[in-house]
């Protein structure tokens, strides 16, 4: 058991490190040389670095995050604090390190906005998915997730970061900076939610068949998925019908449809997207999950 916990912890910090490297490269390569507003506490670092170049962006972010982490520790617990302190330190140090080692030339701002949004969204999704945060508005978004649990974390982060992007535009005296930043931020929120929630994509199927119990038995035996019988009534015939409801993984949709068709070619199948599926065979409930 102890070895398993150590292995899980090492795996967690490995992914946080990978996410931090991707984050730092994306920020130094695509945001800084093109003057694109990033949002969050990092924007504060961009502004201060713009006026006082001797102030490294990563160091500003590190110092500004201290009060936020103290608040996060009280509300979200010690695990978040430790893993997030590591993520914040790693991203801050790597941002300054890559900026020192490499000089990235400017590029087309639209390309930088699109790919910057994808890269930073991917990296933040990896970090947040491990139960950590890079601090700043990432941590604010996690805190807002407590009272607004029904909202995706990417959308919460989007709302909080907009204010900082506007401040960057004023500091750089460039509306283009804000507009490109908003594009990058929107793409980043989509990419982040895709990483956090997309990995656990599930479906729910409603099956109306003349052979409901045969279909149910086949799905249970061959796909290892349980079903629930819903009692319905035919709208035209008035006959009682058993409607099968089954939650399953995205990858099982094709074999499920094939299996139902083999048993009952005339079966009526409705497949819907399902989010936050909790229970046996799916995710387990965790109090501070995203």
Indicate the pairing of strand 268-274 with strand 228-233: unpaired
Domains, the chain, with CATH or none: 2-198 (no CATH), 202-274 (3.30.70.120)
Total residues found in the chain within this entry: 290
User: What is the arithmetic mean of pLDDT over 7-31?
Assistant: 91
| Residue 288 confidence (pLDDT) | 47
151 vs 264, higher pLDDT: 264
User: What is the arithmetic mean of pLDDT over 268-279?
Assistant: 76
pLDDT averaged over the chain?
81
Cβ neighbors of 217 (< 8 A, separation 6 or more) are: none
Q: Does 279 score more than 80 pLDDT?
A: no
- Tokens representing residue 177 in the block: 């900076």
- 231: β partners: 242
Query: Per residue in 121-175, pLDDT tens?
Result: 999 889 888 877 776 666 677 667 667 766 766 677 777 777 777 777 787 777 8
Q: Does 77 score more than 70 pLDDT?
A: no
| Residue 195 confidence (pLDDT) | 83
Secondary structure of residue 237 in the 3-state scheme = coil
| pLDDT band at 286; cut points 50, 70, 90 | low
Q: Does 56 score more than 90 pLDDT?
A: no
| Residue 105 confidence (pLDDT) | 92
Query: Per residue in 88-121, pLDDT tens?
Result: 889 888 988 998 898 899 999 999 999 999 999 9
- 272: β partners: 204
């Amino acid at each position: 058991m102890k070895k398993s916990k150590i292995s899980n912890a090492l795996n967690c910090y490995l992914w946080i490190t990978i996410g931090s490297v991707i984050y730092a490269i994306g920020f130094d390569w695509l945001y800084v040389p093109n003057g694109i507003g990033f949002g969050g506490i990092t924007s504060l670092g961009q502004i201060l670095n713009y006026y006082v170049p001797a102030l490294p962006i990563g160091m500003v972010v590190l110092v500004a995050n201290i009060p936020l982490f103290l608040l996060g520790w009280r509300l979200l617990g010690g695990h978040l604090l430790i893993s997030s302190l590591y993520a914040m330190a790693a991203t801050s140090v790597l941002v300054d390190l890559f900026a020192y080692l490499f000089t990235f030339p400017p590029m087309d701002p639209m390309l930088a906005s699109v790919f910057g949004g994808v890269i930073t969204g991917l990296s933040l999704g990896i970090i947040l998915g491990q139960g950590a945060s890079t601090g700043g508005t990432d941590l604010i978004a996690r805190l807002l997730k407590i009272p607004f649990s029904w909202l995706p974390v990417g959308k919460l982060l989007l709302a909080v970061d907009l204010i900082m992007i506007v401040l960057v535009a004023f500091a750089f005296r460039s509306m283009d900076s804000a507009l490109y930043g908003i594009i990058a931020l929107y793409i980043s929120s989509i990419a982040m939610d895709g990483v956090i929630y997309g990995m656990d994509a599930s479906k729910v199927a409603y099956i109306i068949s003349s052979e409901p119990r045969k279909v149910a038995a086949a799905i249970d035996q061959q796909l290892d998925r349980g079903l629930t019988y819903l009692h319905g009534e035919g709208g035209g015939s008035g006959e009682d019908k058993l409607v099968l409801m089954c939650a399953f993984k995205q990858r099982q949709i094709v074999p499920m449809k094939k299996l139902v068709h083999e048993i009952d070619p005339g079966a009526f199948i409705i497949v819907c997207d399902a989010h936050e599926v909790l229970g046996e065979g799916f995710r387990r409930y965790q109090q501070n999950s995203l």
